[in-house]
Structure 1
Amino acid sequence: MASEELLRTLGNKYSAEILDATDEPRSAQELSDELEIPIATCYRRIDELTEHNLLELHDNILSDDRRRIKVYRRNVEAVRVEFDDDLSVTIEERSEVTNTLDEAWRTLSEG
């Protein structure tokens, strides 16, 4: 992935806020309400972040009114941008240990 393209996606309004808020799984509606983002814009940013593998579809849960709701979680722990000789964007992905611990905690808290 080109560093410029990734930086452009990260620089879009609300992208950083969505990534920050998705340390725990959140639906588009939760993100829209919590961050005060118009829902259509929220879906566009989710699509862009998912396309760049910064955000993932974490689960498809059943709501109280028995509708399927997609919840998203970020795939990254850190993003580093360097302007040495060339522009460089480095992504630190979530570790498998973090993912496993998050999943175990979610399972315990649901029970």
Structure 2
Amino acid sequence: MKTKSQENRMIDATDLLMDMDMERILLGTCDKPRCAPELSELYGIPVLACFKKIKELKKRGLLSVTETVRTSNGRKIEYYSANLENAYVFYDSGRVKVRFTVVVQMAQDFRKRYERSTGGPDSGPGMDAEDNQE
């Protein structure tokens, strides 16, 4: 039986992937690195909201900083890339949807962490051969 915190983690992950702005950010950073102001302008997401969503995507391992640039006034601008293998946009029942595949190694790492946190098969103290490949 799942505990309340395990259930909440699963719901949080579902909410994350159901957020249209996060989908747009992932899609927008799939083919080339982009900064938050650029993503904000491209998709009409308020800049502050864009930074918050980027922070959450980074925390989940779906987005990473690929370049940091300093402006002439010393301000730091980070460029982000999605940790995805591919992404595409399609229509389903009159709605725009995005489908993407997370980089395989990252997905395996996420699965292992999830199973450990829920007391699943990989939650023991030892490491298997697959864990030693990193």
TM-score scaled by structure 1?
Answer: 0.64
Which residue does 1:21 correspond to in 2?
28
Q: CA deviation at 1:68?
A: 2.1
Query: What's the % identity of the aligned pairs?
Result: 27
Matching of residues 40-55 of structure 1 within 5 Å: 40-55=48-63
- For 1:45 and 1:5, the matched residues in 2 are separated by 13
Contact 1:60/1:69, CA 8 A, preserved across alignment? yes
- SS of the residue corresponding to residue 69 of structure 1 reads strand
Higher share in strand: 1
- After TM superposition, give the deviation of residue 4 of structure 1 in Å: 3.5
Q: How many angstroms apart in 2 are the aligned matches of 1:16 and 1:31?
A: 12
User: Once the two structures are superposed, what CA deviation does each residue of 1:33-87 show, in whole Å capped at 9, x if it has no partner?
Assistant: 11111011101110111110000111111335553211111011258xxxxxxxx
Matches of 2:17 and 2:86 in 1, distance apart? Answer: 12
Q: Tell me if the contact between 2:62 and 2:102 (Cα under 8 Å) persists in the aligned partners.
A: no
Larger radius of gyration: 2
Unaligned regions of 5+ residues in structure 1, if any? 80-89, 96-111
What is the aligned-residue RMSD (CA, Å)?
A: 2.7
Aligned length: 85
Could you tell me how far apart the structure 2 residues matched to 1:21 and 1:54 are?
Answer: 13
Select 1:7's aligned residue among 14, 22, 25: 14
**Corresponding letter in the other structure for 2:84:** V
Is the CA contact (8 Å cut-off) linking 1:25 and 1:58 kept in structure 2? Answer: yes
TM-score (normalised: structure 2): 0.54
Query: 2:36, 2:43 → 1: CA distance?
Result: 10
Q: Which has the higher contact order (CA 8 A, sep 6+)?
A: 1
